[in-house]
Structure 1
Amino acid sequence: MQFSSSKTEKSVPGDEVILTASDLTMEFKGFVAVNKVNLSIRTGSIHALIGPNGAGKTTCFNLLTKFLTPTHGKIIFKGKDITTKSPADVARLKLVRSFQISSVFPNLTALENVRIALQRTRGDSFDFWRSQKIIAGFDDRARVLLAEVGLLQLEGVIAADLSYGRKRALEIATTLALDPEMLLLDEPMAGLGQEDVERIAALIKRVSVNRTILMVEHNLSVVASLSDCITVLARGGVLAEGDYATVSKNPSVVEAYIGAGHA
């Protein structure tokens, strides 16, 4: 693992905290996967959760996104205790997860996919029985979201025919249709070639304006270029936290990634 990259300029987040986790712990039949993790995520920031394999990142992320309920600890979002709430409950509070369960229907066009996501915000079903005129009323907003993720020129393309990177961009568009205040990204660069990595990194930076982002990511160059704050996990606990310059020089972090013999 190489800790090297220059940080891209972006707006400075505020001091207000949008999400906190206190003593977050998850135990599976005697095995402690997450051990008393404390997090504080500032409004408007891009916060990265990183660590070597087996560090507890995925479990911690599943706790924060409510796919798991912690054994111990508390999660507060916008002043509300969401520790025992469901993913649907927290989505209604505008805490939305992307990249874990795809929102993309492969046989529908990019525009149709975003339009369906917008229909969900009505609180009804997908309204398939409604007139085409009513459904088309979502098209203008859908096109705005497609433009935001760089897919407007591909609005009529079937999702299955999009490249893998552009499918990821479409997933972001469908997530943005839920109007999140905080967006949680699970390994957004996984499986992407370098060109798509650069495209999705630029997209994440664009959509972070007026939104808070928490991401789990293995690509350290992306983490370095995008993140305001980085939390490093190892063996289920917090090993270090700070900006990239701080954590990349921490001897414990370097050892956790590449071993003391290569530090």
Structure 2
Amino acid sequence: MAEDVILSAAGLTKEFKGFLAVNNVDLKVARGAIHALIGPNGAGKTTCFNLLTKFLQPTRGTIVYNGRDISAMQPADIARLGLVRSFQISAVFPHMTALENVRIALQRQRGDSFDFWRSERVLSTLNGRALELLDEVGLAEFADALAVELPYGRKRALEIATTLALNPDMLLLDEPMAGMAQEDIERISGLIGRISKNRTILMVEHNLSVVASLSDRITVLARGQVLAEGDYAAVSKDPRVIEAYIGEVYTGAGHG
């Protein structure tokens, strides 16, 4: 039986004034999987991620989501198809409560314009679902807290809640653990594991222990090309991957 692929890229290439940031990348993400995109500093991960989410247009190549060619589509259009990048609406309103932030995201999901002029009674009809989403990300007790007052890890959880309000089939997370303390990393890792139960997740992540514990499949990029692919046990023992990462053992993980 053929693998059920929800997102695929073929020959994905991005050239910047003669520099190949992403070079002929083929990628297949299985439906229901947690798929990690990793690589050393400058590997092209962020560029590849931006191509898949259409924040950059590819120089060459095709991207297919749920059997539909989305290569020429805009980010807002593919979000309506159920392919949602975490930060598309996750720049939370700092002086609104967690509940209010999720409620605004729910308004967008149902296709209405932002109903700032509507009565509290009308808007309160969204409270039930907003509270369910806050509970799903472990923020039920923070419903009335202002976003600006939330600790960093909790704020990231709120961003994920606003993304889940769009009811995505596939969620793309760009370095969800960046800047987090260990306690927050453990909390958000647990959260990603929970929300993946009925969704597909593709994430760029530098924290390899997180990648090892969460990912079903890993694609390793280096110099804009696919270096290796497989589960963590396989890619972590691949001599090419070890060689690519050896510099970061001493310099620390960077961005790219």
> Is 2:174 aligned against 1:186?
yes
C-alpha distance in 1, partners of 2:176/2:72?
26
Aligned residues: 249
- In the alignment, structure 1 segments of 5+ residues that lack a partner are 1-13
For the Cα contact (< 8 Å) 2:90–2:163, is it kept in 1? no
C-alpha distance in 1, partners of 2:225/2:184?
32
Calculate the TM-score normalised by the size of structure 1: 0.92
Q: Percent identity?
A: 71
Match of 1:165 among 141, 153, 163: 153
> Is 2:103 aligned against 1:119?
no
C-alpha distance in 2, partners of 1:222/1:100?
23
Structure 1 position 100, deviation (Å): 6.4
C-alpha distance in 1, partners of 2:80/2:173?
17
Q: Deviations over 1:53-105 (max 9, x none)?
A: 10000000000001001000000000000001000000000000014663310
For the Cα contact (< 8 Å) 1:189–1:217, is it kept in 2? yes
Compare the two structures and name the one with the higher helix fraction. 2
Match of 2:90 among 99, 102, 126: 102
> Is 2:62 aligned against 1:62?
no
Q: Which amino acid aligns with 1:20?
A: S
Deviation larger for 56-65 or 127-136: 127-136
Query: Match of 1:233?
Result: 221
Calculate the TM-score normalised by the size of structure 2: 0.95
Q: Which amino acid aligns with 1:179?
A: N
Aligned residue for 1:118, secondary structure, equals helix
For the Cα contact (< 8 Å) 2:90–2:160, is it kept in 1? no
- In the alignment, structure 2 segments of 5+ residues that lack a partner are 251-256
Structure 1 residues 160 and 173, CA, compared in 2 at 3 Å: closer, same or farther? same
Match of 2:239 among 251, 255, 259: 251
C-alpha distance in 1, partners of 2:173/2:202?
6
C-alpha distance in 2, partners of 1:57/1:121?
29
Query: Match of 1:5?
Result: none
C-alpha distance in 1, partners of 2:78/2:233?
33
